[in-house]
Structure 1
Amino acid sequence: MKDIFSYNGEIEKNAYMNWRTQRYNPTHNMNVIAKGFSDSALLLAKDILKDNRDKKADILIFPLLFNTNHSIEVYLKAICWQQNLLLNKNETFEPNHNLKGLFIKVIELENELNSGDQITFRERLSSLEMYIDELYGKIERTIEKKGNFKTIHDITFSRYSLTNDFEPQFYINTFDNVTVDLENYLAVFKGIFDNLDALSTHYYALLEGKQESEYESRE
């Protein structure tokens, strides 16, 4: 078998993993990854809508939602890191998959940073906030262990059919159909991803300006 990480003589048949990434630019690289996952989710949804007579949506919805949530996670982590750099904080982001916690942190850091129009900032994130609230209404639950109650969220719902405590996921443990309107998905997430990308680009530009200013002040 030919190696997967190998070259094809026809250039259009290659994927260059280090073409868009930069060696010393970690937040930029995170945005590249985030956009890759968001673009793949949108392309998959569009492809399903072209012809779903074979009901492929019922199986492809799992990687589609995984790519969606992973893109959101990476975008939010990149933005947190950029905000911390702008605030001269020696921090990056919380090392977990808690979308709600990451979202709240982004809001808190922007309130501290106050980098632009706060109304526009919240408008850009309003649809994402509504989605996270909807999602957590399905994946968040309270468990009891040794008399202690703990609220957990199982973001792995699109990766595994079982929760962390080996219970069926919310879409299995129900008698009602759990559906995703893919036309609505495209309309909503095209906007969410565009806004996340715009926010990250905004902070990236501020960072470049900050670094240029610091460089000039040293000369």
Structure 2
Amino acid sequence: MNARSFLLAVAAAAVLPSGAALAAKLDLIEFRYPGPVEGSVAAGKEKAQVCNNCHGADGKAPVAMFPSVAGLPDQYLYWKLVEFKHSLRGDSIMTPLVANNTIEDLRDIAVFYASLPLVAPSPLTPEPVDAAVLDRGRSLYLHGDPAQGVPPCQGCHGVEGKGPTNAQPFQMAWPALYGQQATYMTTRLNNFRTGYAIDTTMDKIMQGVVRNMTAEDIDAVAAYVERLDGR
């Protein structure tokens, strides 16, 4: 086991139930059965002050390149923070920001942002796009493109982008997409497609999901997702 895997295993011991483990052979964080995250919302609010610059005091990002984190699953947020903390890539803006945070800090921050309302309005206005682009994005999001080998996004993220309804244990870390910015979504989907920053089992699944999407498809889905909150 390398140093990164050891550090991730230490973090996992704090929240993973018996039988759940890291996907060690792939050196990926196992997202299918993440287990509950125990933390303090009040403490997380205090510890998240520095996070507000990029993600907003209400968890809604004021800059299009950053993700909104309000109302996302605490399991998802916690494990993404753990991955940033122990990243060996060295090129993530998040890694130095969480370098001095303890695992307890990360749990507190995760449960704080998870406690915020997902449906709070975004401070940003979408860039105008052609109706045909939105139609393509809507079609891909809701129905996929079987002929092209693209599954529908709503199968995992919900018709309204608010995550799976009545989530089962293996779905607890599946993130909502509601309220995300097109710029951020485009970057993430392109990263999945190129194989960059594949850190979790969920990332690996997403790599397969977007494999057959074109750059235009990605832009269309991102534009559609950005408008799921009515903007």
TM class, shorter-chain normalised?
under 0.3
The structure with more strand, counted as a fraction of residues:
1
Provide TM-score, normalisation by structure 1.
Answer: 0.25
Provide TM-score, normalisation by structure 2.
Answer: 0.24
The structure with more helix, counted as a fraction of residues:
1
